[in-house]
Structures are given as structure tokens and as C-alpha cells.
Amino acid sequence: MKQIVIISGKGGTGKTILTASFAALAEKKVMADCDVDAADLHLILTPKIENRHLFKSGKTAVIDKDICTACGKCRDLCRFSAIDKEFVVDPVACEGCMFCSFVCPVQAIKMEENTTGEWFVSSTRFGPMVHAKLGIAEENSGKLVSLVRSKAKEIAEENNMDWVIIDGSPGIGCPVIASISGVDCALIVTEPTMSGLHDADRVIQVAKHFSVPVKMVINKYDLNLEMTEKICNYCGDNDISVAGKIGFDENVVKAMVEGKAIIEQADNETTDAIKAIWENIKKET
Ligand code: SF4
Ligand code: SF4
């Protein structure tokens, strides 16, 4: 079983369109949507949720009013001013440091786990999919990404699947590291602009740091042929293979609006290019 992640230096480069197409092309696979902060793979794959689970992360202090003697120690010592004059903890301000629970003379303070999101195992027309939703302004998406990945891997192993296809998080932060670590191939999707190359370079450095094999795809390459050449040269200089180039095609957006992968909607140069990229990955991963 191989794990492949489709990733980009920033959102909106066509990463999800490619992931959905691979989901359609690969035979025995599980999909993992690790873009937990701004998931959109579900818009194309329309998953039917089979089971849902709460995601717990971090702790918040809770004061038991029946035990509390209002001595004020916890409020005086909380560095985050998270305890008000009524001895109620503000869950947003509380950093979960547990200090108050140690200083309370009557053990009135308990630390409770926070529910910060949900994760799901779903069925789609292309096979099983694991995905998640993080609560607004919640942190620790790296931990949620790791959870989604490990569940997808478990399903793949149990069912003798050949692939785990991961829609990775954009950027270079903690969720990206959680998306790419230990995969067999990270496919970086970029567009032919200077900022596209810059963003791709940053994520490539992260991948290299974690010794993850990298391939590049240039999406909408024909919008700027000069920049496409620069990106190809960059790949040559950095020993990165270009798995393929996809031209601009308004059918891609039309397919997305209809909730379809382009591969299901059309049979043209774009779909030929995507199929060739998938063949390249199958052969070289
Ligand atoms: S756990 Fe830490 S941050 Fe939260 S209320 Fe107690 S002392 Fe303050
Ligand atoms: S330290 Fe304990 S008893 Fe004192 S105010 Fe805080 S919760 Fe109440």
C-alpha cells in the first residue's frame, strides 16, 4: 500500500481537482482529506457519512461551585486572567496549564478535555473517505490531520487497498508536516507565477527536510509559458521530476460546479494530461 499526498504552497492551485481525479482513476484506494481547516474535497466526492467521532484536544479548567470556598487563590495566580470574579473559567482565555488545579486547597478544579472538532468515515462513489471538521478558531489541526491519516491507512490495510490518496493542507505549517511525513510521494501542484514558484519552493524544502520524495505538477501552464520554463528549470536544478503539465481549461470549473471530477466530465487534453500524471505516479512510486 502506498500513500500519496497532493499538496500546494497555498490554496487554490488545483490541488483538490487533481486529488478528485486520482480518486476516480485509482482502483483500490482510500481518500483522506487532510485540508481540515478549509476542506473542499467533499464538494466533489459528496461523502455519505457512515460514522462520526468527536475530536478532543487540549484541556480547560472547570470549577465546581459546590466545593469552591471562594478563597481567590486560583484567580490571583492564573497568568491568563481566565477566571472571573464569580470564579467561572473563560474557556477561550484558559490555556489549560493546570496551575489552578494544583493550587486549589479544596480540589474544586477539574481539567476537562475540549471537543474541538469532528472526524468522519464516509462512503463515496469512488470508495471510502476519511475527513474532518475543525471548530472555528480551534487549533491543533496537525493532530487532527494525523488522526485522519492514520484512520485512512488503517482502512486501506484492513481492505488490502493499494493507495491512500491524501488531499494535503496548504502552506508550510504544522498540518502540512502532518500531511506529508512518511508518504511515498508528495505531488506539489503549482501555477506558473513567481509567487507560485516561491510557495512551491517553501513546501519542497519542508518535504526535503522530512526526506519525502517530491514530484511537481504545473497547473494552467499555458497561461505563462516563460514562467513554466523557469519552474521546469528550477525542478531540473533541484532534482525534482515534473510529473506533468495541465493546460487551462474552463471545463474544470464547470465540472467542479456540478460536483464532478473533470475526469468524469470530459475526454480531452486536460484529462489526458491528468491520466498521464497518474500513470507516472503509479510507475515511479
Ligand atoms: S488552567 Fe491555567 S489558564 Fe486555565 S484557568 Fe487554570 S491557571 Fe488559568
Ligand atoms: S482556589 Fe479553589 S477554592 Fe479557591 S477560589 Fe479557586 S476554585 Fe475556589
- Cross-strand partners of 119: 53, 132
Quote the pLDDT of residue 14: 79
Report mean pLDDT in 10-residue bins for the chain, 285 residues: 88 81 94 80 91 91 97 96 96 94 97 91 96 75 89 96 90 79 93 92 90 94 96 95 94 87 90 96 89
- CA 116 to ligand 2 centroid distance, Å: 27
Quote the pLDDT of residue 285: 82
Query: What pLDDT is stored for residue 36 in this prediction?
Result: 72
- Which of ligand 1's atoms lies nearest the C-alpha of 83? 5
**Pocket of ligand 1 contains residue 177 by CB under 6 Å:** no
Residue extents of the structural domains in the chain: 2-46+137-284, 57-115
Strand partners, 165: 4, 31
pLDDT the model gives residue 11: 65
The answer to whether residues 10 and 106 touch, using CB atoms and an 8 Å cutoff, is no
Output the pLDDT for position 71. Answer: 97
Ligand 2 centroid to residue 66 C-alpha, Å:
11
Residues 6+ apart with CB under 8 A from 234: 197, 201, 240
The answer to whether domain 2-46+137-284 has CATH 1.10.287.70 is no
| Cβ neighbours around 163 below 10 Å, total | 23
When the candidates are 3.30.70.20, 3.40.50.720, 3.40.50.970, 3.40.50.1700, the CATH number that belongs to 57-115 is: 3.30.70.20
**SS3 at position 244:** strand
Task: Say what the pTM is.
Answer: 0.86
122 φ/ψ angles, rounded to the nearest 5 degrees: -130, 165
pLDDT recorded at residue 139: 64
Contact (CB, 8 A) for 179 and 20: no
Distance CA 275, CA 270 (A): 9
Residue having the nearest C-alpha atom to atom 2 of ligand 2? 104
> What ligand is nearest to the CA atom of residue 78?
1
Nearest 5°: the CA angle 16, 19, 21 is 110
Between CA 105 and CA 260 the distance in angstroms is 61
Ligand 2: distance of its center to the CA of 263 in Å? 62
